[in-house]
Structure 1
Amino acid sequence: MKPILTLAAGLMAATAMHAAEPFLVAHRGASHDAPENTLPAFGLAWKQGADAIEGDFHLTRDGKIVCLHDYDTKRVSGTKKVVKDSTLAELQALDAGAWFKPEFKGTKLPTLREVAATVPAGKKFYVEVKCGPEIVPAMLEDLAASGLKDEQIVVISFQAPVIAEVKKVKPAYKACWLSSFAKESPLDPGTDEVLATLRKIKADGFSSKADERLDEGYLKAIRDSGFEYHCWTVDEVATARRFLDLGALSVTTNRPEFLRKGLSGVPPVAAP
């Protein structure tokens, strides 16, 4: 009976793996439906069933951490203030919601601690660092104060020195290096460069734009070398399915609910 039970257990495990829900990360929150990188967008992401939220973070002039993608506030507020040259109070005095829809008028730029406070138990928080390693001490202090467990936090950055510093100071946090690709073919960076960088900075994985030129061989080389692969930013069901089939452990999307329904076979509602 023992071999039969072992075989049955194996089949059940394989079925569970195949049936597992795709891990969806809400890009700047549910940013298709609410202003990006704001508490309304992050709150909506959880309501839409996201497994994680991703936010962009900068260090302000007075050593605080604010959630914003760009290096200045012009696009999301209509007023240009360079983040590194501004205090948190100056940045939070701006309206970061009216540009999106009138109903979000008065929405402010949140801090790292405010965003972390939205993360429910069992969910994850992808912290994208948009500046350099100088942010790391304040970031680790804020994350420690959040009460989130180490396994709930993933630090991501295009800046390799940021990932290296995080893994040096707080190795318990998962950290992934980000990269997009040059428009010319072949893919640049290639797998040799990616793997060399990941090893040098002791990253846990690689996260890239879901470039249509990426193929099984490129991503298999990364996975076979012991690194995770993740992709962004995907709002089309077919593209998400392709990258999940290629081994992506997570897909970052502006539309978590829309994408999950599409991947589960529920006919998605056309985007307005």
Structure 2
Amino acid sequence: MFCRRFSWFLSFVAGLLIMTAASTLSAVEIIGHRGASYDAPENTLASVNLAWERNADAVEIDIYLSKDGKIVAFHDKTTKRIGGRDQEVKDQTFDELQTLDVGAWKNAKYKAERIPTLTQILETIPAQKRLFIEIKCGPEVLPQLKQELAASGKTPAQTAIIGFDFDTMQQAKQLMPEREVIWVFKVKQNKITRKWQHKPSYYIQKAKEANLDGLDLGYNGFVNKAFVQQAKEAGLPVYVWTVNKVGDAKKLAEMGVTGITTDRPGLLLSALKPEK
């Protein structure tokens, strides 16, 4: 009798652990990096829409301000790598940028894909989904960004502003307090001493002092459960980029990260949220 009861108890505990693990995995937000950029040309409408088709929880894009004040989705400082013109985005008008083919480099079927505007991408966001907007230029884009977000008809909860430049993030939060603003960074490690550039408390305290809403960092050994818990206890959700392996994504989900940015949202969703 005792053996049967103990066996039942073990089965019950095992079931609870499995359900808890599944709940932890499914809770993490899967964010398409520049859309579904493993398969489609990054930061294009094709890539963004493919991520939505694959049921990504969110999409991340990069933005610049063109010479004539249009906010466009593009990652690099110049259009040399994608587009073939060795000139900075900020020094080209929107019409000039529109002459560039930014799809054929990825696959012939994307030939003639053009650089989209932020407004065009905002229009694609489905209900209950959201867009992470990474500022690649500087604070000069903020007034126009505020205007376009307000005019988009999307709720503040459907967009998040992110970026590496701390001062720009601080200014963004001051200008748009209703928007979620998240600081992006990558922690460097000394190759000789193996010490990290800063302790977790440095990033947490700095973000809190600026009234920012989260931390978004590159995936490496700095990211562990203790750091994630410390940040979350301070009211700062943790997002991690760029993760394309299922094993890595599961480890991060088990650590309790809020979101994972990936080039392959479809792959991670099928592994972590098979019910979707």
Normalized against structure 1, the TM-score is what?
0.88
Describe the shift of the 1:193–1:48 C-alpha distance in structure 2 as closer, same or farther (beyond 3 A): same
- Match in the other structure for 1:6: none
Which of 197, 211, 223 is residue 202 of structure 1 equivalent to?
Answer: 211
Structure 2 unaligned segments of length 5 or more: list them.
1-15
Describe the shift of the 1:32–1:169 C-alpha distance in structure 2 as closer, same or farther (beyond 3 A): same
- Match in the other structure for 2:202: 193
After superposition, residues 37-186 of structure 1 pair within 5 angstroms as 37-184=43-190, 185-186=194-195
Structure 1 unaligned segments of length 5 or more: list them.
1-10, 267-272
Structure whose CA Rg is larger: 2
**Contact 1:26 1:254 (C-alpha < 8 Å) held by counterparts:** yes
**Contact 2:64 2:74 (C-alpha < 8 Å) held by counterparts:** yes
**Contact 2:24 2:253 (C-alpha < 8 Å) held by counterparts:** no
1:122 Cα shift? Answer: 1.1
Helix, strand or coil at the partner of 1:202: coil
1:21 Cα shift? Answer: 4.4
The question of 1:259 aligning with 2:265 is answered no
**Contact 1:26 1:255 (C-alpha < 8 Å) held by counterparts:** yes
Equivalent-residue separation in structure 1 for 2:119 and 2:198 (angstroms):
34
**Contact 2:25 2:272 (C-alpha < 8 Å) held by counterparts:** no
Describe the shift of the 1:173–1:98 C-alpha distance in structure 2 as closer, same or farther (beyond 3 A): same
1:156 Cα shift? Answer: 0.4
**Contact 2:24 2:256 (C-alpha < 8 Å) held by counterparts:** no
Equivalent-residue separation in structure 2 for 1:245 and 1:29 (angstroms):
24
- Match in the other structure for 1:30: 36
Aligned-residue sequence identity (percent) comes to: 35
**Contact 2:101 2:113 (C-alpha < 8 Å) held by counterparts:** yes
Larger relative contact order (CA 8 Å, sep ≥ 6) = 2
1:206 Cα shift? Answer: 0.4
2:242 maps to amino acid:
T
